[in-house]
Each structure stands twice: as structure tokens, then as C-alpha cells.
């Protein structure tokens, strides 16, 4: 019973947000250098999951202390927090303590990897990642309450995580992982973004100025469409300019998912239950496009 409660609290169903950039970064490191260390990869993945779990728990705690989650009468499977505090399953102190423990576990793995890798590049990448994760809702910065939350998620689960995973394998940095991280970073930011629509009223009342609150739902859904389109334009441009392999064209197979998400979002942006398919489709789009993008480099590297 207690184990199920903690699984509910850490929300492992969203760990694909960590799996995809770590997978992509590791493959890119092998693609450019020919080196791949499975132990280092697994440590990177476990460390990233620990930080992600700490982030989820910190969000629950700080969204409770701000009152945002308590004000939300319409939580969904994708938004409104895990509700373990609101349902009395765990105390706020227990959630905060667990968050800190997960952060410490992730930091410990990062420090170990930094100690056996050259220089302190991984240390600085890790510091930025932990900073963005904790202060997304953590006091005193509360980045997610300032209109910069979506950008911080893009940065943390895009360039920061891909570059970190890349460095662990390549032991150096290059421009390729930065460029390749843009689509997965945008898509995970859009997962957060579309999940903010059901929370609009509670966020607005609680002073959480997400982009959806700032823009209003009608304008916000148009921005959602624009960024989805930009993902595909970036990939096509990357193929034209040579930093994405031609096999990356296979990511266009995900266009039906994107069109379905856009159709649902435009029609139901103001209706919580009817919008849920768009929430699910955006998560699936991030997962499938991220896998195809990663495999395009893997297959190109195997057969070049």
C-alpha cells in the first residue's frame, strides 16, 4: 500500500521526459566518437530519474504551500499534481523530505561521474539541471510562477540533459547534441504547456503566471500550434544543413499525431475532459519522435 502511494507521488509514468534526452545524448556521443559505456549510460539514466522524481515531489510540496493544487477542483491524470497531499496520503513534510533525498541521490551519481570524467564540465551541467529542477516551483525563485516555467523545462529536459548524457559518453562537448536537443526540448515543454490548460483557473487564482495564464487560452492554443510546427521545420532544416541524418525524415511519420493533437486542442482548449486526448497525444508525440530521432543516428552510425 505504502509503495503504491509513493509511486503515485513520484509519477513514474512521466519519466519518459528523462528517458528520451538521456537516450538521445548517449547515442549522439557514440555516433560522434564511437565510444559507448553502458555503465555510464545507466548511471546517467538513474541519476536523471532521481532528479526528475525530486522535481515531481518538490512540485507537489511547493504547489501545496502556494495553494495552487488545493485550489484546483478539476485535477486530471496529466495535471494538478499527484494529489497525495490533498488526499491525506502523505504529509507535506514527508513529500519534501523524499524530494530532497531523490535530489541527493541524483547529485551523488553526478558527482561520481564527474570525478571519473575529465574536467568539471559535467559538474556545471549538473548544477544547472538541479537548479532548474528544484527552483521550478521551489522558493524563493519559483520559476514556474513567472512565465519562464516552460522555457526552464525546455532547457532542463532538452539541451541540459542531452548535453550531459552526451558528455558522459564522448568526454567532450560539441554543437551536435545542442542542435539535436531542440525538438525533444520543445516537445516536453509543450507537454507541460498543454497540461496547463486544465489548471488555468487554479493557477490564475493562486498567482501562478504560466504562459497559458498570461496569454489566455485562445492565444495560448495558437502558440501551441506554432511550436509544434517549428519542431518539424527544425528537423527538415537540420536535414538540409546536414546535422540531422537523412533517416531523420522518418520523424515525419509522427505528423498524424501532431495533427490530431492540434485538432483536439483547437476544438476543446476550454473544456477540460475533452482536451485530455491532446494531453495524451503530446506525450506520445514526444516519446515517438524522440525515439525515431535517436534511432536515426543509431542506424546511420551502424551503416555509415
pLDDT at position 304 is 73
Average pLDDT over residues 209-237: 97
Average pLDDT over residues 92-97: 97
pLDDT at position 74 is 81
Average pLDDT over residues 58-83: 91
pLDDT at position 13 is 94
Topology of domain 2-303, per CATH?
Farnesyl Diphosphate Synthase (1.10.600)
Domain map of the chain by residue range? 2-303
pLDDT digits (tens, 9 = 90+) for 141-151: 999 999 999 99
pLDDT at position 217 is 95
pLDDT digits (tens, 9 = 90+) for 183-212: 999 999 999 999 999 999 999 999 999 999
Asked whether the predicted pLDDT for residue 73 surpasses 90, the reply is no
Q: pLDDT band at residue 107, thresholds of 50, 70 and 90?
A: very high
Lowest pLDDT segment from 64-68, 94-98, 169-173, 219-223: 64-68
How many other CB atoms sit within 10 Å of the CB of residue 128? 16
pLDDT at position 221 is 97
Asked whether the predicted pLDDT for residue 37 surpasses 70, the reply is yes
Average pLDDT over residues 135-160: 95
pLDDT at position 1 is 67
Asked whether the predicted pLDDT for residue 54 surpasses 80, the reply is yes
Asked whether the predicted pLDDT for residue 270 surpasses 80, the reply is yes
Q: pLDDT band at residue 72, thresholds of 50, 70 and 90?
A: confident
Q: What percent of the chain stands above pLDDT 70?
A: 100
Q: What is the pTM for the complete model shown?
A: 0.95
As a whole number, the mean pLDDT across the chain is 96
Asked whether the predicted pLDDT for residue 90 surpasses 90, the reply is yes
pLDDT at position 178 is 97
User: ∠ CA 124-125-131 to the nearest 5 degrees?
Assistant: 85
pLDDT digits (tens, 9 = 90+) for 240-265: 999 899 999 999 999 999 999 999 99
Amino acid at each position: 500500500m505504502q509503495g503504491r502511494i509513493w509511486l503515485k507521488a513520484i509519477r513514474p509514468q512521466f519519466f519518459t521526459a528523462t528517458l528520451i534526452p538521456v537516450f538521445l545524448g548517449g547515442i549522439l556521443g557514440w555516433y560522434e566518437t564511437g565510444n559507448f559505456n553502458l555503465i555510464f549510460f545507466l548511471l546517467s539514466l538513474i541519476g536523471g530519474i532521481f532528479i526528475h522524481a525530486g522535481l515531481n515531489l518538490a512540485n507537489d510540496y511547493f504547489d501545496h504551500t502556494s495553494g495552487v493544487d488545493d485550489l484546483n477542483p478539476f485535477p486530471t491524470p496529466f495535471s494538478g499534481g499527484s494529489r497525495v497531499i490533498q488526499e491525506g496520503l502523505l504529509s507535506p513534510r514527508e513529500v519534501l523530505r523524499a524530494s530532497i533525498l531523490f535530489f541527493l541521490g541524483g547529485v551523488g551519481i553526478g558527482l561520481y561521474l564527474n570525478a571519473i570524467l575529465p574536467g568539471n564540465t559535467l559538474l556545471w551541467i549538473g548544477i544547472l539541471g538541479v537548479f532548474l529542477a528544484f527552483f521550478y516551483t521551489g522558493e524563493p525563485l519559483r520559476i514556474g510562477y513567472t512565465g519562464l516555467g516552460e522555457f526552464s523545462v525546455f532547457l532542463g529536459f532538452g539541451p541540459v540533459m542531452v548535453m550531459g548524457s552526451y558528455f558522459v559518453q564522448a568526454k567532450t562537448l560539441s554543437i551536435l547534441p545542442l542542435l539535436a536537443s531542440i525538438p525533444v526540448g520543445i516537445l516536453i515543454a509543450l507537454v507541460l504547456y498543454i497540461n496547463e490548460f486544465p489548471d488555468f483557473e487554479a493557477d490564475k487564482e493562486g498567482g501562478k503566471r504560466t504562459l497559458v495564464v498570461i496569454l489566455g487560452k485562445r492565444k495560448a492554443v495558437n502558440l501551441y500550434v506554432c511550436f509544434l510546427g517549428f519542431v518539424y521545420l527544425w528537423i527538415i532544416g537540420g536535414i538540409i544543413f546536414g546535422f540531422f541524418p537523412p533517416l531523420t525524415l522518418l520523424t515525419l511519420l509522427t505528423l498524424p499525431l501532431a495533427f490530431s493533437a492540434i485538432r483536439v486542442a483547437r476544438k476543446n482548449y476550454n473544456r477540460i475532459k475533452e482536451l485530455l486526448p491532446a494531453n495524451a497525444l503530446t506525450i506520445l508525440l514526444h516519446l515517438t519522435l524522440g525515439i525515431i530521432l535517436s534511432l536515426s543516428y543509431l542506424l546511420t552510425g551502424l551503416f555509415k
